Structure 1
Amino acid sequence: MKTTIALTPEHLEKTVTIGAWLSNKRSSGKIAFLQLRDGTGFIQGVVVKNDVSEETFQLAKNLTQESSMYITGKVVEDTRSAFGYELQVSNIELIHEAVDYPITPKEHGTEFLMDHRHLWLRSKKQHAVMKIRNEIIRSTYQFFNDGGYVKIDPPILTGSSAEGTTELFHTKYFDEEAYLSQSGQLYMEAAAMAFGKVFSFGPTFRAEKSKTRRHLIEFWMIEPEMAFVDHEESLEIQEQYVSFIAESVLENCKLELDVLERDTSSLEKIKAPFPRISYDDAIKLLKEKGFDDIEWGDDFGAPHETAIADNFDKPVFITNYPAEIKAFYMKPAPGRSDVVLCADLIAPEGYGEIIGGSQRIDDLELMKERYEQHDLNDPAYKWYLELRQYGSVPHSGFGLGLERTVAWLSGVDHVRETIPFPRLLNRLYP
């Protein structure tokens, strides 16, 4: 019976055949231990000399790392392994012999591993990170589909920018200027006016010359937009969503979290509601902590966000930032024209901002003022203004950065390990 490693528990005490690669091996005289992977998981295959043909045993002893095969054996319980099962091998059919596989079971430098990212993905830890990423994506679709949201795909090539054009990739669109999208938000607002509650999930691009562990040039965003939803309701949806995906990872990625040696006690605390601190109070807190150079009106950097988050044991919302440092479309706070109805959700353990969101301006005249202030009178923005002209309603939305969220929940240090093929300031290969 042909099966996969992930499904072997369903075939306990039965003989199965698995298409697999050899990730590692060791042998001791009359027994060979094969560490096998097939994309769905990892399992140990045990080859005992007295239980197989001489040809099969010699083949097992001579297998090279990353050689591919069909391997047949009986599934048995193995309480010593994290997976809980192993394969008592009876036959091996070699498909392809790999020679001089470059990533050996020893320490390699980061640049070497990044140069071989197409192969590094096969390793146990990288496999675990990608499985956690997949679970976050799966549970994201579940959360929004169950909540009555409609999936909408905004364009990647755009004629306008959501937050200014200084950090966008410019390209020629025949005889026009175009940009790679930095956010689908403006288009999602249009979609929300048609469908009520919508979400997008797709790649975004920032031409930001940053080399920090939190930044990528190309990354993926989940961007919900909701008509008839104010800022307070949006915050509640955000904390429910983050709690949901964290719970899903804890429940469905136990093995992967174990492989990554992730301390799950911190993840178990991720339950709504989340604490909140205003920008005003965050400035006071930072000054108390010795950040004498921070002043009201300054944006927060990574050290500031970490210092704020360290005061809480779960994600924290920083609310009501100054209007001057936020995007043109954010609605002013009632009674305060100097701050806007927005929030950044800061993850604990130094992982920084994972969500940015706000209530959007729904008043036509105020949006016209913002257009003047930000010099947005280009025809490319005409359609966005019309959303306030024809049936405008209160609406809010947010964007969650997938890679930062994967890094946080899986506990890896750098976002370059949270996307299959990272695009960094100095890296476009492989």
Structure 2
Amino acid sequence: MSRRISEVRMESTVGQTVVLRGWIHRLRKQKEKAFIILRDDRGDIIQAVSPSNLTENLTIESSVEITGRLERDDRAIEGGYEVKVNKIVVFNIAASDYPIGEYQSDEILLDYRHLALRTRKLINVGKIRGSLLKYSRGWFDRKDWIEVTPPLLVKGAVEGGATLFEVKYFDNRAYLSQSSQLYLESMIYSLGPVWTISPSFRAERSRTVRHLAEFSHLEAEIPWIGLSELMSIQEDLINHIITMIKTFNKKELNFLSTDALSKLEEISTPFQKISYEEAIDTLRSMECKIKDQNGSERIIEWGDDLNTESERELTKDKTSPIFVTGYPMKIKPFYVKQDPSNESIGLAVDLLAPYGFGEISGGGIREDDWSKLRARIEQSNLKIDDYLWYLDLRKYGSVPHGGFGLGIERFLRWILNFDDIKDVTLFPRTMSRILP
């Protein structure tokens, strides 16, 4: 019976006959024998030595079952275990023109992403992605939050109409969801604290290393909450995920980055909290510049949204994330609640990752007053009819409530210390890429 490589690569199995199934990751043929690096379905590899006559037709990525004796050899890769092969069963001989070599350009790896997923880098990225989702779910389960699945086809915008993907919906028009927030809000009245991990879509014409047209979105909403408690929830969730990854994913972290683990060890709680006003003052002291609508550069000032460059400047010397609170209402979406002590300020908060990785999470307290919310919808030039159901939530038993959205890929990019967000996405969707 075949086993996984991780199940046999141990001292107690040395000298035993093992059966392993997988793919030829690397192959070097000599006159009398051939050296095989076998990769199984979890991405683990082991060295195998076979008589050359058993490998005559084999090629890279051929799928096989090998049988042989496990031996100790300190020269062998991945722990010093090697299989002395006496039998090979072939499932499929891969074509000899396999396009992914040991060294390839980024564009080739994107063009052949369906095959590049077999590279050890993306295998380890996939494992940490899976772990991140598992640890997130574990945190919410322990806190007794209910997981829900909101719709992805919607009629209205959440983050601004300019970034909506339009789709034909029978004889009507619909859009791909930018966020599940509005639907999560409707569920807190019957299910209490709720959360989801769903795809979100943003038609942003951006080619930066931190933007995707489709991304994985962890979103949560909770009734009867204030801004301070909402920040504590995010801090606890993120600290839990980081702690679990440091503990149980060291192997993958060390393979992917030489310093990712050491940087994660530097994180401390509580996370620093600064106001938007403090952030602007700091950036102005650095003479941080932004571009206005005409493309002209000027020093950032109060009322400007924080862009990629300004977020980088604020966090490039930090070792832990920081919260920025109290943004001007004019730069925040229609659903943000006004600060009762200063109505020009919104009860909103962004979480910025350290080392210049920028925003990974955004949230705040939602407007629970029917008349104020309706006025904001109208001021945002949105169609009231598309939001009547959302306004109903304020007519029938509204309560103070809030939530946040965490971008999984942005979070993972910071954890792995990667330059480009496409490298943490198994099938990235950007302005110029919809295949494979």
TM-score by length of 2: 0.91
> Which residue number in structure 2 is paired with residue 188 of structure 1?
184
Match of 1:17 in 2: 19
Residue 126 of structure 1 is aligned with which of 119, 122, 125?
A: 122
Q: Which moved further from structure 2: 70-79 or 273-282?
A: 70-79
**Following the alignment from structure 2 to structure 1, what is the Cα–Cα distance between the partners of residues 81 and 230?**
47
Aligned to 1:37: 39
State the AA in 2 paired with 1:195: L
Identical amino acids, percent of aligned pairs: 39
One-letter amino acid of the counterpart of residue 68, structure 1: S
The aligned counterpart of 2:171 is: 175
2:60 aligned residue: 65
1:346–1:354 contact (8 Å) kept in structure 2:
yes
SS in 1 for 2:98: coil
Q: How has the CA–CA distance of structure 1 residues 413 and 101 changed in structure 2, closer, same or farther, with 3 Å as cutoff? A: farther
Give distance in 1, aligned partners of 2:250 and 2:30: 31
Partner secondary structure for residue 70 of structure 1: strand
Shift of 1:126: 1.1
After superposition, where does 1:266-281 map in structure 2 within 5 Å? 266-281=263-278
The 1:18–1:106 alpha-carbon spacing in structure 2 relative to 1, beyond 3 Å, is: closer
Please list, as runs of the form range in 1=range in 2, the aligned pairs for 1:309-324 lying within 5 A after superposition.
309-324=315-330
Structure 1 stretch 292-301 or stretch 211-220: which is displaced more? 292-301
Q: Which runs of 5+ in 2 are unaligned?
A: 290-298
Look up the match of 1:214.
210
Q: Which amino acid aligns with 1:38?
A: D
Of residues 253-262 and 126-135 in structure 1, the stretch that sits farther from structure 2 once superposed is 253-262
What is the distance in 2 between the residues matched to 1:270 and 1:25? 42
Separation in structure 1 between the aligned mates of residue 56 and residue 263 of structure 2, nearest angstrom: 43
Q: Tell me the residue number matched to 1:255.
A: 251
How many aligned positions are there? 423
Deviation at 1:379, TM superposition (A): 1.5
Partner of 1:53: none
Find the aligned partners of 1:290 and 1:8 in 2 and give their Cα distance: 59
1:303-357 CA distances to partner (integer Å, 9 max, x unpaired)? 1111101242111111111111111111112311111111111112232111011
Q: Give the one of 30, 46, 56 matched to 2:48.
A: 46
Q: Partner of 2:147 in structure 1?
A: 151
* Distance (whole Å) between structure 2 residues aligned to residue 114 and residue 305 of structure 1: 28
The alpha carbon displacement at 1:222 in A equals 0.5
How do 1:234-383 residues align onto structure 2 when only pairs under 5 Å count? Answer: 234-263=230-259, 264-291=261-288, 293-383=299-389
Q: Does the 8 Å contact 1:321/1:343 carry over to 2?
A: yes
**In structure 2, C-alpha distance between the alignment counterparts of 1:145 and 1:101, rounded to whole Å:** 47
One-letter amino acid matched to 2:368: D
How far apart are the structure 1 equivalents of 2:71 and 2:328? Answer: 61
Letter in 1 for 2:6: A
CA distance in 2, matches of 1:394, 1:82: 58
Residue identity opposite 1:416 in structure 2: K
CA contact 2:318–2:355 (8 Å) conserved in 1? no
Task: Return the alpha-carbon distance in structure 1 between the equivalents of residues 54 and 234 of structure 2.
Answer: 54
**2:191 and 2:203 mapped to 1: Cα distance?**
32
> Which 5+ residue runs of structure 1 have no aligned equivalent?
49-55
Task: Provide the residue aligned with 2:225 in structure 1.
Answer: 229
CA contact (8 A) 1:149 1:198 kept: yes
CA contact (8 A) 1:73 1:87 kept: no
1:170 offset after TM fit, Å? Answer: 1.2
Distance 1:97 1:287 in 2: 62
2:84 equivalent among 76, 84, 89: 89
Task: Decide whether the 8 Å contact of 1:12 with 1:77 is kept in 2.
Answer: no
Tell me how far 1:271 sits from its aligned partner.
Answer: 4.0
Change (3 A) 1:334 1:265: farther
Hey, what's the Cα distance between the residues in 2 that align with 1:105 and 1:371?
Answer: 53
Letter in 2 for 1:8: V
SS in 1 for 2:61: coil
- Distance in 2 (CA, whole Å) between partners of 1:74 and 1:208 is 55
The answer to whether the Cα contact below 8 Å between 1:103 and 1:120 also exists between their aligned partners in 2 is: no
3-state SS of 1:284 partner: helix
Query: Could you say what secondary structure the match of 1:114 adopts?
Result: helix
Cα deviation for residue 42 of structure 1 reads 2.1
For the structure 1 residues 28 and 247, does the alpha-carbon distance in structure 2 shift closer, same or farther, using more than 3 Å as the test? farther
CA distance, structure 1, for counterparts of residue 314 and residue 76 of structure 2: 40
Alignment CA distance shift 1:82-1:408 (3 Å): farther
Alignment TM-score, normalising by the size of structure 1: 0.92
The residue identity in structure 1 corresponding to 2:17 is: T
Structure 1 residue 3 corresponds to structure 2 residue 3: yes
User: What is the DSSP-based 3-state SS (H/G/I as helix, E as strand, rest coil) of the residue aligned with 1:138?
Assistant: helix
Name the Cα RMSD after superposition.
2.1
Separation (CA, whole Å) in 1 of partners of 2:336 and 2:262: 36
How far residue 272 of structure 1 moved from its aligned partner, in angstroms, is 2.9
Deviation at residue 31 of structure 1 after TM alignment: 5.3
- Name the SS of the counterpart of 2:6 in structure 1: coil
Give SS of 2:209's match: coil
**1:89, distance to aligned residue in structure 2 (A):** 2.9
